């Protein structure tokens, strides 16, 4: 074993300083929130966590989660020519729960993500279906956001925060999702030959531990963005505090041909609740994007995000800036982990001349210890 060890006082101390890019990563639209309950053509409690897509005719379509005053959610489409205002909202729910045929939807459907799939010439809408067993992942295909072909549950509870990748890998479709299991609430990827039967499940990004902003619970936000450097993924980290959870956003990059391989992961969060409309609402301190559109320049992003489980907001950014930020601000946890916090066996550097057989490492993150 290539084990090396350094006594704790020789572990290099690195000061953490987040490196800035020239532009802020996301700029909030001044007219936020862009959609609220009062815009709705029928009575609802709140509208948030919208999937987004640019349609062939140039319109932006948001498939919003609308919560009625029973507390149950359905999906409703809003269309706009500029993706900012002038929203035309369907006069009735666009995709409503259908618990008679799909009992897994008895407590509503939530948090959609849309992927256009060229091979199918259809949009894949992946959403959370909620019933007694907890939240699960369901899939429907559509060409027009008017009629939907439902596939039912594709990942059983407890699972959510899912999106389909737009093409096959080695002949198989790939789905990112977030099951909650005894090993934690991590992001997984699973594969399928036909969108019905899923297997080859693997963890693709783990929640960190301890004091990190994304400790214990993470999940995919909007569908991954394909860039020349890899799949750019915006994910949320949930920080548990004495007064509730804080939902913030981080970045990671995955290999284009092997999307389960993480190339980079940001150290800090890059966007979090700051504006009043993000901090206060039905659920305080939540920013929760489920979709984005990319501009004609191939770089500018409109990120659509739910705020405080109450309304929909917009922030604009640039793919180039996100990738540069990730280049400057990744890998810190991996470096620290290698040196002193593995929690069991160690890969830390051995001091010169030390015999491997005499060395053990404390298993409590206290650093190295030499037993003789």
Give the binding site for ligand BMA (CB under 6 A): 49, 110-111, 247, 283, 286, 288, 306, 309
Token readout for 309 is 């489980």
Structure token digits, residue 197: 């039967």
Minimal distance, residue 48 CB to ligand BMA, in Å: 6
Minimum gap (Å) between residue 238 Cβ and ligand BMA: 8
Number of residue whose CB is nearest ligand BMA = 283
**234, 222 contact by CB (below 8 A):** yes
The nearest distance, CB 224 to ligand BMA, in angstroms, is 19
Q: Which residues pair with 262 in a beta bridge?
A: 254
Least gap, CB of 126 to ligand BMA (angstroms) = 14
Nearer to ligand BMA, 155 or 323 (CB): 155
Look at residue 170 and give its three-state secondary structure: coil
Provide the minimum distance between the beta carbon of 170 and ligand BMA in the complex, in angstroms, as a whole number: 32
Residue 248 vs 265, nearer CB to ligand BMA: 248
Nearer to ligand BMA, 148 or 288 (CB): 288
Q: Which two tokens stand for residue 54?
A: 């640019």
Q: Using an 8 Å Cβ cutoff, are 217 and 238 in contact?
A: yes
Identify which of residues 315 and 319 has a Cβ nearer to ligand BMA in the complex: 315
CB of 91 to ligand BMA, least distance (A): 24
The nearer residue to ligand BMA, 21 or 49, going by C-beta atoms, is: 49
CA atoms within 13 A on the CB side of 354: 21
By beta-carbon proximity to ligand BMA, the closer residue of 105 and 111 is 111
Q: According to the 3-state scheme, what is the secondary structure of 68-87?
A: CCCCCEEEEEEEECCCCCCC
In three-state form (DSSP H/G/I as H, E/B as E, the rest C), the secondary structure along 144-195 is CCCCEEEEEEEECCCEEEEEECCCCECCEEEEEEEEEECCEECEEEEEECCC
- Cα–Cα distance between 239 and 214 in angstroms, integer? 6
Q: Provide the minimum distance between the beta carbon of 44 and ligand BMA in the complex, in angstroms, as a whole number.
A: 15
CB of 127 or CB of 198, closer to ligand BMA: 127
Query: What stretch of H or E contains 65?
Result: strand 60-67
The sheet that has 60-67: what strands, in order across it? 46-54, 60-67, 73-80, 88-89
């Amino acid at each position: 074993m290539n084990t090396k060890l350094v006594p704790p006082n020789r572990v290099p101390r690195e000061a953490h300083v987040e490196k800035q890019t020239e532009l802020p990563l996301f700029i909030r639209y001044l007219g936020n929130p862009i959609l609220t309950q009062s815009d709705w053509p029928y009575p609802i409690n709140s509208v948030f966590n919208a999937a987004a897509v640019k349609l062939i005719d140039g319109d932006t379509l948001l498939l919003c989660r609308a919560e009625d005053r029973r507390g149950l959610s359905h999906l409703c489409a809003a269309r706009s020519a500029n993706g900012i205002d002038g929203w035309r909202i369907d006069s009735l729910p666009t995709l409503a729960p259908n618990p008679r045929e799909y009992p897994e939807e008895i407590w509503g459907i939530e948090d959609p993500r849309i992927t256009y799939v060229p091979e199918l010439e259809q949009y894949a809408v992946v959403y959370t279906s909620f019933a007694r067993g907890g939240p699960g992942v369901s899939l429907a295909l559509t060409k027009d956001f008017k009629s939907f072909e439902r596939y039912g549950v594709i990942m059983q509870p407890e699972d959510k925060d899912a999106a389909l990748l737009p093409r096959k890998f080695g002949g198989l479709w790939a789905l990112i999702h977030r099951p909650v299991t005894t090993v934690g609430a991590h992001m997984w990827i699973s594969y399928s030959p036909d969108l019905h039967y899923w297997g080859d499940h693997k963890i693709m990004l783990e929640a960190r531990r301890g004091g990190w902003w994304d400790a214990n619970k993470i999940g995919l936000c909007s569908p991954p963005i394909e860039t020349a450097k890899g799949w750019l993924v915006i994910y949320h980290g949930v920080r548990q505090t004495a007064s509730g959870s804080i939902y913030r956003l981080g970045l990671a990059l995955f290999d284009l041909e092997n999307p389960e391989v993480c190339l980079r992961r940001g150290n800090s969060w890059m966007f979090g609740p700051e504006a009043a409309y993000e901090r206060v609402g039905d659920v305080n301190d939540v920013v929760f994007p489920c979709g984005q559109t990319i501009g004609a320049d191939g770089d500018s992003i409109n990120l659509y995000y739910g705020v405080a489980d109450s309304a929909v907001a917009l922030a604009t950014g640039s793919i180039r800036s996100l990738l540069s930020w990730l280049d400057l601000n990744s890998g810190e946890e991996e470096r620290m982990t290698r040196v002193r916090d593995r929690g069991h066996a160690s890969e830390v550097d051995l001091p010169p001349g030390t015999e491997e057989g005499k060395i053990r490492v404390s298993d409590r993150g206290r650093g190295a210890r030499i037993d003789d």
